[in-house]
Amino acid sequence: MKFTQHTLDKIERIAEESGYVIRYERGSFQSGYCILQAKKVVVLNKFLQIEGRINTMIDLLPQLNINIDALTHESQKLFTELTALPAA
């Protein structure tokens, strides 16, 4: 997988299509992110580089309540590929 802004945008779109809001903020996140489940908000450390943001989003996807039926065909395909990857 290429670590580009385009790839990050596609991964973020998966969460956004399921109703999540992605925000980049400053904070003391030990894991690089914080999930506010009740509000469907994902807060990522704004100091992460592109590769860190992509890896964090890939790690987060299984923890989010993703409605695969609400995703576009392209997002469904990417979501299936990402969730099938072995954990690093």
27: domain range?
5-84
pLDDT digits (tens, 9 = 90+) for 16-50: 999 999 999 887 777 777 777 688 999 999 989 99
Which range among 13-17, 26-30, 66-70 shows the weakest confidence by mean pLDDT?
26-30
pLDDT digits (tens, 9 = 90+) for 51-62: 999 999 999 999
DSSP letters for 9-73: HHHHHHHHHTT-EEEEE-S--SSSEEEEGGGTEEEEETT--HHHHHHHHHHHGGGS---GGGS-H
Query: How many domains, in total, are found in the chain?
Result: 1
